[in-house]
Structure 1
Amino acid sequence: MPKVVSTEPSPVEDKYKQHTTVFSGLQNELQNKLFGQHLVLKAVVNHVRAHIENKHPPKALALSFHGGTGTGKNYVSKMIAEHLYKQGMKSKFVHLISATKEFPHEEMVHFYKDQLRNWIETNISVCSRSLFIFDEMDKMPAGLLDTIKPYLDYYEQIGGTDYRNAIFLFLSNTAGRDIINFTYNKWTDGIPRDNIKLKEIENIIIKSTVNTITQRGLWHSELITKHLITAYLPFLPLEKSHIMECIKDAMVLRKHYSDKDRYRIPGDLIKEVLNELTYFPEHEQIFSITGCKRVMEKVDYVMLQ
């Protein structure tokens, strides 16, 4: 986690690419490219916009993304970065950290705490509007995340620095099984997916995160007990109809079809890719085990034939 010094215009100087364009663009991309995640779409746009347009937010924005593989957690994080910063994920003000890469040894947690503290303070001193993305949160040593509690709290300044303009995204598989069970129960009860409300599932995520048997990530974290997470957002398991849309996007991205021909892609071809993936539960075959994560490689495989 080296110190960052950059000559890139800060998002403050750039006016976040003009607010109206930023948030209409983010909303449109989420609507057109994020499939099956109605709860995430509305919450992300509203929370990010409210935070950015507030000249003096009460605290840093902290969104915790929960769900299984391939449901869109990294995808949404990238969209946020791409719409807030000219250089997107390559911006010097966007910081992605993988728990498995940066914090592999539990016995070094005290060293990691100092490292993490220095990393955040250094980057915030360069740009108060920094974006921090913590991936694989469920694999982070327990207690380590509490290091950043002061930067997420309601302090006007810490050591002369204001941290309230920063954005923190936490990506985790924690509560993934509970989210799946909840979604499956709604399906068996005949309740439309789009009728699921965020309030219904947010408490399930919190309980699962606090009580996870892995004792990692947000387990018993003060970020939860002190109510410093702005929102817990569930990424629901993806159904075949959603995977079909991912297949169409992959076909266009690989230039097998143009964007204007997206809806003319043969159904048999889409079904062939669809059948290369695995679904659950065993008898109903409703949800994709890997979400959209393996769609691109399956498209390549099928098209080569």
Structure 2
Amino acid sequence: MQALLDAIATMDRPTDAQRIFHGRGGLHPGCEHWTLDAYPPVWVLTSFAPVSEADLATVGEALQARWAQIAPGEPLNWVFQSRAEARSETRLMAGSVPNPHVVTEDGARYLVHVLRGQNHGLFLDMAEGRRWVRQHAAGQKVLNLFAYTCAFSVAALQGGARQVVNLDMSGGAIAIGQQNHALNGLAGASFLAHDLFSTWGKVNRLGPYGLVIVDPPSYQKGSFVATKDYARVLRRLPDLLRPGGHALLCLNAPELGPEFVQDTMREAAPELVFEQRLPNPSAFADVAPERALKVLLYRAPDLPPRPTAP
């Protein structure tokens, strides 16, 4: 646990939501089960293995000591989530959690909920993907598939996208996405709480798109299993994209490396050209990059040049 305690002892006061310690990356032997995230003004400690109350007390003391240095006089707020043995339990360990709880990232504001569920409303490892979208969305019509709470849409509209279509089968997630747009004073988005696989006709009629974002769960029983369903999405891309448009393909499944996406794309939509794999935030460094989040960028072919008149 020493690497976690060392990270706490040297961390700065965060302003944006971010990961502080990533034991899951395997770079800190003995700490593989720990992560520490900042959702200001709340710290979220997560363990993926059973831990003792004594260990939690040690971490709490370290957080309290460092917080007294970087935020003297302010109360410490921290939450512990146990995700051991495929079960999730969340406890408020000290202080309180704002309600509503709004965090920032690159000037954008997002609602989060750190006391319920395994997903908190904003995936911190996707920060570089949102940054790329913000930098490249100007003037584009964007399709955001598996939109969750629509953070990609917020980034796209802040980057100058002219329209974003958000689709997710969870009406609750889409409702939070609408609140995220209101928080940022953004217009130009539409929200579809539908099952993608029964909505292709509508999605196609709203296109074509200059950017399609595909960020599905790796395994969600009854809705999406990457090993059989990813190809069903990728084969639609040539019809969804305008010439020269981009597809941002995301996958967070440790058991599936980037070659899974690349091989599936070669079979499902061979005309799309691979451009690059986007980096993950440095805080998510991994001893085995193929196991970490995959964010791959593809481009549709341009229209052939018109023949010149004789």
TM-score computed with the length of structure 2 as normaliser: 0.30
Structure having greater relative contact order (Cα 8 Å, sep ≥ 6): 1
